[in-house]
Structure 1
Amino acid sequence: MKQKQTFHFYGAVAATGLLSFTGVLIETAMNVTFPTLIGEFGISTTAVQWVTTICLLAISIIAPLSSYLNRSFSARALFLAANLLFLGGAVLDCFSPGFAALLLGRVLQGVGTGLALPLMFYMILTKSPLEIRGRMMGFGTLTTSIAPAIGPTYGGMLAHLLNWRSIFVFILPILVGSLLLGLHSIPKTEQPKREPLHGAAIAFLAVFFTCFLTAFTAKGLLTAVWLLAGLAAGALFLRANRRHSLLGLAPLRNRSFTLLMVSFLLYQALLLGNSFVLPNVLQIAGGLNASAAGLFMFPGAMLGAVLAPVSGWVLDRLGAKKPILIGLAVAAGGMVLLALLLHTAQVALLVAAHCIFMTGLGLSYSNLMTCSLARLPQAQLSDGNAVLNTLQQFIGAMGTATSAFVISLFQQSGGYRSGTMLGGQTMLGIFACLLLVSFLCSFLGLHLPGTSAAREPQEPQN
C-alpha cells in the first residue's frame, strides 16, 4: 500500500517563500538596466518601464483570484503552476530576441508570482501553529518589503559584470531548488471540487488596470481615451462583482482599515517608484555604471531587512502608533533629503539619506499591513487580504509608470541628461508629499476605533 505523503510545513513555506522572494526581487532587478535596454531595443523611457510595470500588472490581475484558486485547486497544483510558469518566463527572457519577447517572459513571471505569494500566506495562516504565526507572517511580509529594494543591487551587479540576461540565468537554480523542495514538502491531495469561475469580473478588472497604466504611456488625447476606457471598465467590474463577488469589498466600509490601507499603498507606490528613479538618475545624470547604481541601494536595503523583524517586536512592546508614526516621519525626512541632495551627485550623502528613508520604512511598512488587517473582524480577513494584495501590486505599477512618465516629460523639454535629473528631483519631492499624506492617514486610522480580528498589540498603559 502506498504511504501517504506528509505535509512538511517549514519546507512548504520555504519553497513558496523562495519562489515569492525571487518573484518580488525580479520585479525591480531590471530597473538598473533601463538605459541599456533603451539603447539596445531603440525604445523610450515610457516604453521601457513596462519591463517592470507589466510584471506588477500580471500579479495584480491574478491576486483577486487567490481565494477562488485556493478553494478549487490543491496547494501542490497551484505551486507547480506558479513555479513552472515563472521558470518558463525566466528561460524566455534569458534568450529573448526582442522587446516583445522580453515582456511576454515578464508576464509569465508576474503570473507565477501572483500565484505563489497568496499561496505562501494561505499556508502560513492555515497550517502554522498559533504561537509562531506572527513570526511566520513577518517572514512572509519580508518578501514584499525588502526584495524590491535589493532587486536593483542584484540586477546592477550582474548587468555590469556580465549582461542583463544573466539576471534571469542566476535565478534558474533557485527556481529549480524551490521546485524540488516544494514537490517533497507539499503532498498530493484530493483535488477540491472545482467552483465555476465567472470571468466577466476578472476581465473587466484586468481592462481597468491595463487602461489606467497605458494612459501614462500615451500622448495627447489618447491619454484621456485610455482613462475614460478605464473608468468604464471599472464601473462594469463593480457591477459584475456585485453579482459574483470576485473581490469582497465589504472591508472598505471600515474607515480605520481603509485609512491604514491607503497609508500602506502610498508607501508601496513610492517604494517601487523610488527603485525606478534613483538607479536611473544616478546612471543617466550621475554617470554611475549599473553596478554602482545598484550597490547604492544596498546599505539601505540591508537596514530595512534588519529592521523588518525588529519592527514586529517593537509593535508588540510599544503598540502600533509609535513605530508606525515615527517610522513614517523618519522616512519622510529621508525622502526630503534625497530630493534636496540629488543634484549634488554626492554618493555618500545620498546613501546616508537613503538609509534614513529605509530606516523609517523598516519601522513602519510591515506594521502598517499588520495593523490594517487587524482592524477587520475575522469574517472579513480573507477579503481584506485579497483587496490589500491586489491594490498593493497595482499601486506599485502605478508608482513605476508615473515616475517614468514624469521623467520622460522632463527629458523631452530639458534634454536627456538634465531632464532626467530634474524629473528625478520632481518625483522625489512628490514622494515626500505622499509620505506626509501617508502619515496623516495613519494618524487618523490609528485613532479610530476598529474591530480587532487578531491579537493586535495594545498601547502600553502608563
Structure 2
Amino acid sequence: MHTNHWKVIPAVIASGILSFSGVLIETAMNVTFPTLMTEFNTNANGVQWVTTGYLLAIAIIVPISSFLIRNFSTRQLFIVSNMLFLVGIILNSLSPSLTILLLGRVLQGIGTGIALPLMFHIILTQSPIKSRGMMMGIGSMITSLAPAIGPTYGGILLNTLGWRTIFWFLIILVLISLIIGLMSIPNETVSRNEKFPINTFAFLAIGLSLSLLAVEKLSLIMLVLGIVSLSAFYIANKKQALLHLTLFKNLNFNLYMYSFLVYQAILLGLSFILPNYLQIQLHVNASAAGLFMFPGALIGAILAPISGSLLDHFGQFRPVVIGLIISTIALILMVSYFQQLNFWTLMFMHMLLMVGIGFSYANLMTVTLATLPPSQTADGNGILNTTQQFVGASATAIVAQLITTAVHASPETGMIVGAQKGIGGLTLLIVLSLMLFVGAHFYNKKVG
C-alpha cells in the first residue's frame, strides 16, 4: 500500500464522527423503547432488536474489516460506510413498521461496522508510537461522548418533535464527517490479491445470529444450530482465513480482552436497564431518563484521553486496575441497595461507575492490542470489535429477557426484580475481571 498526504487527526475525527453517530443513535433509541412498544404493539423482547439487530450487524461486518482494509483503500471504505449509514437513517425516519425500522438499523450497523475498525486502524498505523495511548483515548472519547449525549438527545426530541426526528438531525453530522474525510484521507493504491472467504463469512454470520436468537427465544434448537454453524466457521476458517484465530493462543490477549468485553456488557446492559427502569418503574419521562445518563457518560468520555496519557507515562497497570476497582465498588453498591435507590442516588452510582470505566475502558483496548506483534494488530482489532459488538448485543438480549420474564411472573414488581438480576450478573462479571487482571499482572511480572 502506497500512501501520502495523510492528515491523521482530521481523518480520525472524520471516522470518529461516523462512529459517534452510530453509538449516538443506538443509545438515543433506548429511551424510545416504551413509546415504540406501544406504537408497534410489541414487548421488551421485540423492541430490543432495535439495538440488538444493529449490534449484530456490526458484529457480522467487523470480522471482515481486516480483509476490507487489505483489499480496499481507506478512502473507499470511508465513503461506503457513510453512504450506508445515510440510507439507514432515511429509512428509519420514514419507517411505517418495526420491520422497516430494523432494516434501517441493520444498514446503519453495517456502516458503523466498517467505520469503527477503520478509525482505530488509522490511529494504529498513522500515529506515532509515543502518543498512541493518547490517540486511542481521543478515538475512544469521540465514541464515548455519544452515550453521554445520546439518551438526552433522544429523550428531548421524543418529547418535543417525535422519535422519527432523532434520525433526521444526524444527516448533518454524517455530511460533516464525509466532507472532513474526503479532505483528510488520501487516495491510495491497494493491490487486491485475496479472494473473499464467502463460506467462512456465511457460517460466522449465521452462527452469531442463531446464538442471539437462542438467547432471545430461549431456544435450545437455535443454540445447537448456532454452535454447529460456528463449528463450521472454525473449520472453514482454517482453510480460508477470515479471522486469524491463532491470536487466542496468546493468554494475555485473552485475559485482557475479557476485561474489555465485560465493560462492553456493562455499558450496553445498563443502557437498556436504567432508562427503561426509570420510565416504567419510577415514572420518569423520556427527557429526564435521557438526562440521567448524561453526567456519568460525560465523565467517562472526558477521562478517556486523560487515562490514555496516564498509560503513556506510568504504564498499563495503575490506570486500569484503579478503574476496575472503582467500577467494581460502584456495581456492588448499586446491586446491593438497588431497591432503595431513587433517581438521584442511582445517578450518583452510575457516575461513580463511569469514573472507573473512564480510567480503564479505552486503556484495556490499548493494552489488549499491545500484547500482539504489529503483524497481528489488524486481526486483533477485528476480533476485538467483533466480540465487542456481539457481547453488547448479547448483554442487551439477556437483560431484556430477564426483565420480560420477571414482569410476566409479577407485573407489579417484575421490573425491579428483573433489573436487579441484570445488574447482579454484571457485578459478578466485573469482580471476576478484576481478579483475572490483577492475577495476570503479577504472573507476568514473576515470569518476565
* TM-score class, shorter: over 0.9
**Structure 2 counterpart of 1:373, which letter?**
L
- Residue 430 (structure 2) pairs with residue 435 (structure 1): yes
**Which of 278, 282, 297 pairs up with 1:282?**
278
**Structure 2 counterpart of 1:45, which letter?**
A
Whole-Å Cα distance in 2 between the matches of residues 151 and 284 of structure 1? Answer: 19
**Structure 2 counterpart of 1:333, which letter?**
I
Q: Report if the CA contact (8 A) 2:140-2:301 is conserved.
A: no
Give the TM-score of the pair, scaled to structure 2: 0.95
Stretches of structure 1 that go unaligned for 5 or more consecutive residues are: 451-457
**Structure 1 counterpart of 2:365, which letter?**
M
Q: Report if the CA contact (8 A) 1:148-1:272 is conserved.
A: no
Whole-Å Cα distance in 2 between the matches of residues 191 and 317 of structure 1? Answer: 36
What is residue 403 of structure 1 aligned with on the other side? Answer: 399
Whole-Å Cα distance in 2 between the matches of residues 19 and 398 of structure 1? Answer: 23
What is residue 153 of structure 2 aligned with on the other side? Answer: 154
What is residue 184 of structure 1 aligned with on the other side? Answer: 183
Number of residues of Structure 1 aligned to a counterpart in Structure 2: 444
Give the TM-score of the pair, scaled to structure 1: 0.92
Q: Report if the CA contact (8 A) 2:141-2:301 is conserved.
A: yes
SS at match of 2:194: coil
What is residue 222 of structure 2 aligned with on the other side? Answer: 226
Give deviations 1:107-156, integer Å, cap 9, x for gaps.
00000001111111222222234444332222122245453354222222
**Structure 1 counterpart of 2:227, which letter?**
L
What is residue 369 of structure 1 aligned with on the other side? Answer: 365
Whole-Å Cα distance in 1 between the matches of residues 97 and 304 of structure 2? Answer: 38
**Structure 1 counterpart of 2:126, which letter?**
K
> 1:196-235, aligned counterparts within 5 Å?
196-219=195-218, 223-235=219-231
SS at match of 2:414: helix
Whole-Å Cα distance in 2 between the matches of residues 282 and 24 of structure 1? Answer: 21
Give deviations 1:327-363, integer Å, cap 9, x for gaps.
1121121112222343235111111111111111111
Whole-Å Cα distance in 2 between the matches of residues 372 and 6 of structure 1? Answer: 30
Q: Report if the CA contact (8 A) 1:256-1:448 is conserved.
A: no
Cα distance change on mapping 1:445 and 1:332 into 2, 3 Å: same
Q: Report if the CA contact (8 A) 2:16-2:143 is conserved.
A: no
Q: Report if the CA contact (8 A) 1:142-1:305 is conserved.
A: yes
Q: Report if the CA contact (8 A) 1:341-1:349 is conserved.
A: no
How far apart are 1:217 and its partner, in Å?
A: 2.2
> 1:131-150, aligned counterparts within 5 Å?
131-150=130-149
How far apart are 1:167 and its partner, in Å?
A: 1.2
- Residue 258 (structure 2) pairs with residue 262 (structure 1): yes
Q: Report if the CA contact (8 A) 2:135-2:305 is conserved.
A: no
What is residue 55 of structure 2 aligned with on the other side? Answer: 56
- Residue 324 (structure 2) pairs with residue 328 (structure 1): yes
Give deviations 1:274-317, integer Å, cap 9, x for gaps.
11000000000010011101111111111111211121233234
What is residue 68 of structure 1 aligned with on the other side? Answer: 67
Q: Report if the CA contact (8 A) 1:260-1:446 is conserved.
A: no
**Structure 1 counterpart of 2:152, which letter?**
T
The more displaced of 129-138 and 323-332 is: 129-138
Whole-Å Cα distance in 1 between the matches of residues 142 and 99 of structure 2? Answer: 28
Q: Report if the CA contact (8 A) 1:341-1:350 is conserved.
A: no
SS at match of 1:196: coil
How far apart are 1:6 and its partner, in Å?
A: 4.4
Q: Report if the CA contact (8 A) 2:201-2:233 is conserved.
A: yes
Task: Give aligned-pair identity as a percent.
Answer: 47
Q: Report if the CA contact (8 A) 1:74-1:190 is conserved.
A: yes
What is residue 344 of structure 1 aligned with on the other side? Answer: 340
Give deviations 1:237-285, integer Å, cap 9, x for gaps.
0000011111011221111111111111111111110110000000000
SS at match of 2:216: coil
Give deviations 1:217-248, integer Å, cap 9, x for gaps.
215xxx10110011001100000001111101
Q: Report if the CA contact (8 A) 1:256-1:446 is conserved.
A: no
How far apart are 1:84 and its partner, in Å?
A: 0.4
What is residue 29 of structure 1 aligned with on the other side? Answer: 28
- Residue 293 (structure 2) pairs with residue 294 (structure 1): no
Whole-Å Cα distance in 1 between the matches of residues 192 and 344 of structure 2? Answer: 58
The more displaced of 400-409 and 124-133 is: 124-133
SS at match of 1:136: helix
Q: Which runs of 4+ in 1 moved over 6 A?
A: none
Whole-Å Cα distance in 2 between the matches of residues 314 and 6 of structure 1? Answer: 30
Whole-Å Cα distance in 2 between the matches of residues 259 and 132 of structure 1? Answer: 24
**Structure 2 counterpart of 1:58, which letter?**
A
Whole-Å Cα distance in 2 between the matches of residues 138 and 15 of structure 1? Answer: 16
> 1:442-457, aligned counterparts within 5 Å?
442-449=437-444
Q: Report if the CA contact (8 A) 2:22-2:109 is conserved.
A: yes
SS at match of 1:449: helix
